[in-house]
Amino acid sequence: MKQVRTRIAPSPTGEDLHIGNAYTALINYVFAKKHHGKFLVRIEDTDRTRLVEGSEQNILSSLHWLGFDPDESPEKGGPYSPYRQSERLKIYKEYAQELVENGHAYHCFCTPERLAQMRKDQEASHLPPMYDGTCRKLKTQSSKLKVEKGERYTIRLKVPKQGTSTFRDIIRGDISFENKLIDDQVLLKSDGYPTYHLGVVVDDHLMEISHIIRGEEWISSTPKHVLLYQFLGWTPPVFAHMPLLRNPDKSKLSKRKNPVWVSWYRREGFLPEAVRNYLATMAWSFPKGKELFSTEEMVKVFDVAHIQATAPVFDIEKLKWMNGEYIRMKTDEELISILDVYMLQNNLKSLNKQTAVTKISDYKMQMKKILPLVKERMKTLKEFESLAGFFFERPKELERPVNNILLGVAEQALKGSEWNHDAMEQAIRAAAEKTNAKAKDVFMELRVAVTGKSVGPPLLESLEILGREETIARLSSI
């Protein structure tokens, strides 16, 4: 077998890497690793009207965060440079020209206004929106003259009127389209940029891509690509079209129902290994139903033909659960360094050492004590803030007003108690009994007063860490 070379070819037209593209990246990455091949990233930035500033940078940085470092990319370079389509315009133009010369493409001089009118008319008469072939009929000679005169043109694919175009998809089997239903696709635009179709075919061929693994939304484009391979005398790569991720209601994953940008998951405190693991379970299962596995383990057993074509549901609650499991797989030491970086990157002030109001002289030691109290409950890194923020900063406000009488009982008991779990518990229970209050209620008021919230880590252990002085100061300030 030829060397396996896979790629993702994102367009920098969104904020960042779409989670669906992260899914495709995972499969391409794993497939390449499995076959000791190469995984590359090509930036398809030929739609100049849709470019988003900073998008390419964000895409590459999200891929890096996910751990899908490409062997070749615009940043890294490689033997098939450049990997950014806007830097390869000359190449596309040459192939478009070649197609015209071989009679498989033609110049089209129709103005945008004429095309808009044509589409309107087609819509009115319920016809499919397809180019009507006006310029296809022009004689070569008159086309040449128009080009020489400097008329603006595009180059269109001359799709045969008869026959079918077929390709094999390793997930879905043979897929055929009747040629008469395929539009005479524009290949080269009047601004000199290729369309997606020309760019993708030329580059996948020149970059020696062996397997094209991409989302199913590209299936209807593939027959056009197959024709191009044929007309240029090239052998097409192997195709695999992945099912699209769905919202739990089965609709296409969309911004309105689910966060779609990888940077959101990063900011929210998901671990890249959990995101990778969860994405891997979309439409594919690890042998024997194993749920938690690393990308390296996946590489060993993965077979792209085992991907199911049915729509996988991307359920963020399930991802959160999995993320929690990954958090608990870390040692406390590891998690402390991860949290350190996370808090710094996300500028979580309440957890920032410099702004801590508690008398924390040794932040690291303090973290070591706090972590075991909250680790069990954390599903994301961000949740550390809501669970443990009170250790570092006095709560700005309480979740609800507290009962001052019960709080007074707690305060008195604590003032006279030694500062350890058992002594504090005994003192509070005894004081509650004396005043005919329920110990449970006293503990609850104490919790709300000190932490600001009615749920959180174990209370007395928390007070031990917080210390007598800070605890009493919080109680007296209410």
> Rule CB under 6 A: is residue 432 a binding residue for ligand GLU?
no
Binding range to ligand GLU, per CB under 6 A, among 5-13, 116-124, 275-283, 343-351 = 5-13
* DSSP-assigned letters across all residues of 162-211: SSEEEEEETTTEEEEEEGGGS---EEE-TTSPBPHHHHHHHHHHHTT--E
Q: Does 10 bind ligand GLU (CB under 6 A)?
A: yes
Close Cβ partners of 256 (under 8 Å, ≥ 6 residues apart): none
3-class secondary-structure state, position 227: helix
8-16, 131-139, 184-192, 235-243 -> range binding ligand GLU (CB under 6 A): 8-16
211 forms part of the interface with ligand GLU (CB under 6 A):
no
Measured between alpha carbons, how far apart are the two ends of the chain, in Å? 74
3-class secondary structure for 292-356?
A: CCCHHHHHHHCCHHHCCCCCCECCHHHHHHHHHHHHHHCCHHHHHHHHHHHHHHCCCHHHCHHHC
- Contact pick of 65, 80, 109, 218 for ligand GLU (by CB under 6 A): 218
The yes or no reply on residue 44 touching ligand GLU (CB under 6 A) is yes
Based on CB atoms, which residue is closest to ligand GLU, 13 or 122?
A: 13
Of 44 and 273, the one with the shorter C-beta distance to ligand GLU is: 44
Crossing angle for the helix pair 19-34 and 55-66, nearest 10 degrees? 50
Alpha helices in 359-467 (DSSP H): 363-374, 383-392, 404-415, 421-434, 439-451, 459-466
Nearer to ligand GLU (CB atom), residue 109 or residue 218: 218
Q: Which stretch binds ligand GLU (CB under 6 A): 7-15, 284-292, 382-390, 452-460?
A: 7-15
CA atoms within 13 A on the CB side of 406: 18
Q: Which of 120, 144, 252, 255 is catalytic?
A: 255
Cα 426 to Cα 129, 196, 403, 420, distances in angstroms: 80, 73, 21, 10
Question: CB of 218: closest distance to ligand GLU in angstroms?
Answer: 5
Give the nearest distance from C-beta 92 to ligand GLU in angstroms. Answer: 14
CB closer to ligand GLU out of 244 and 343: 244
What span, in angstroms and rounded, lies between the C-alpha atoms of 184 and 160?
A: 9
Residue 207 binds to ligand GLU (criterion: CB under 6 A): no
User: Is 38 part of the annotated catalytic residue set?
Assistant: no
Give the interface size with ligand GLU as a residue count (CB under 6 A). Answer: 8
* Phi, then psi, of 246 in degrees rounded to 5: -120, 155
Q: What's the sign of the alpha-carbon dihedral 404, 406, 412, 415?
A: negative
Please state the closest distance from residue 329 (CB atom) to ligand GLU, in A: 33
- H-only helix segments in 191-271: 196-206, 222-231, 262-267
Q: Can residue 229 be called a binding residue for ligand GLU (CB under 6 A)?
A: no
Residue among 214, 375, 447, 474 that touches ligand GLU (CB under 6 A): 214
Least Cα distance to 280 among 33, 28, 23 occurs for 23
- Is 282 a binding residue for ligand GLU by CB under 6 A? The answer is no
Nearest approach in angstroms of CB 114 to ligand GLU is: 28
Task: Select 99 or 200, whichever has its Cβ closest to ligand GLU.
Answer: 200
Q: How far is the CB of 7 from ligand GLU (least distance, A)?
A: 7
For ligand GLU, the closer CB: 4 or 414: 4
DSSP state of 218: G
Q: Does 276 bind ligand GLU (CB under 6 A)?
A: no
d(CA 130, CA 255): 30
Find the shortest distance in angstroms from Cβ 390 to ligand GLU.
45
| Minimum distance of ligand GLU from residue 213's CB (angstroms) | 8
Query: Counting contacts by CB under 6 A, is residue 200 touching ligand GLU?
Result: yes
**Which active-site residues does the annotation give?**
255
Chain positions contacting ligand GLU, by CB under 6 A: 9-11, 44, 196, 200, 214, 218
